[in-house]
Amino acid sequence: MQDQQAIAEIVRMQHDFFNSAITHSYDFRINQLRKLKRGIEKFEGQFTAALKDDLGKSEFESYVTEIGFVLHDLTNTIKYLKKWLKPKKVRTPLLIQPASSEIHFTPLGVNLIISPFNYPISLTFAPLIAAMAAGNSAVLKTSELTPKVSKAIQQLINDLFEPEYIAYIAGEVPETTFLLKQKFDHIFFTGSSRVGSIVMAAAAKNLTPVTLELGGKSPCIVHSDANLDIAVKRIAYGKFMNAGQTCVAPDYVMVHQDIKDEFLEKIKHRIISIYGSDASLSPDFGRIVNEQHHSRIVRLIDQDKVVVGGYFNKADRYIAPTVMKDVSLADKVMAEEIFGPVLPVLAYDHFDEIFATIRQLPQHPLACYTFSESKAVQKELIAGIRFGGGCVNHCIQHLGNHNLPFGGVGESGVGSYHGFSGFERFSHKKSVLKAASWLDLSLIYPPYKGKLKAIRRMMK
């Protein structure tokens, strides 16, 4: 357990530093963001090696989903920060004229950012970038399940920043538990719904606002008119990236009964074509983060329903890309978020079956994917399913657009971020009305006799 007094002192120093207003200026923010970008570029090789050790990630996947994603976020934020900082003018009602009204984006203060193991680079630095852009200070706590990556992040943070501005806290559950007892101005957590509820309960004791990026069983719907060759290519990409350890991965597929057999045959061939008959030999297929998660995922596989895959190696933390057919809600694989390379396939005839299945699962989906060439089908499924965000005729790609807010709904999350939405999430929207003094209408002042009629007209 790291020294509790030292942790508390870091939080205290951050409050003092934030109150000095040093972090508030545009020049400070932009210079720190540029410094972070240079640091990420410098650490690219170290991060890539650490991701390979901890998660078996390929260099390509490490760059696209982690390092390159963060660099793109930084480029976008640096480019638009000055525009984001400008007060937003809004209309002013006639009743309170002459005046003008603005929304000012001001920093929240001291933030705690807790990141998960599955994308330890991007899910640490994306919220940090937003926090820095909005003029805040931040304390970082990464996952102990990816020790090599956490060590590299700690080194980068310690090299670049003073702890009163950006601090890294090493450790495990005890350190996180103690951090949650401290007084922060905002807590940003990415992880499981179970831990998210613990974070929210701890934050409530200090009335600290939270952003929770959680998970859920994200459905993928393949309608009878879908382009199947495209669908299986993109579903396999989205599901088996990072060995399925992606919060927005297609958790299960609901495929129209008329094309179920064809879909199963095509996705089987697709998996073999990209990873080979033994994916453990593929340089492009990752590993499960630890033995505990490996054992949990293996228990979800019903070998009698396996179409392809089903193999695993505990010593190597390997689970083959696996597809299961004829799955129902009674199967274990449908009882929890899989978070691994196992894809259950269910059949449907009517949309009501899709809606009923999703409603019976324990939480609203973080993502939803629809494959159909019909705009009417796309519209009905988007409107009829409550989910955080998603794609039509693709998987996961909505995360690549920083103009789209990313976040869950209901039990899959609270709040959203990325791009301007992230800047906004780490800011307080301060309302300011500037009244003119050259004219003062007496209509709102006592005595009120004879004024109500005029007020009624103005307020309709």
Which positions are catalytic?
213, 247
Contact 427, 105 (CB under 8 A): yes
Residue with tokens 């638009």: 80
Single-letter amino acid, residue 129: I
Residue with tokens 């695993």: 312
Could you give the angle at the alpha carbon of 421 between the alpha carbons of 419 and 427, nearest 5°? 110
The β-bridge partners of 187 are 112, 210
Tokens at 63, concatenated: 């760059």
Alpha carbon distance 70, 378 (integer Å) = 31
Alpha carbon distance 387, 349 (integer Å) = 22
Alpha carbon distance 407, 104 (integer Å) = 23
Task: Say which residues have a Cβ less than 8 Å from residue 281's Cβ, sequence separation at least 6.
Answer: none
Alpha carbon distance 400, 388 (integer Å) = 15
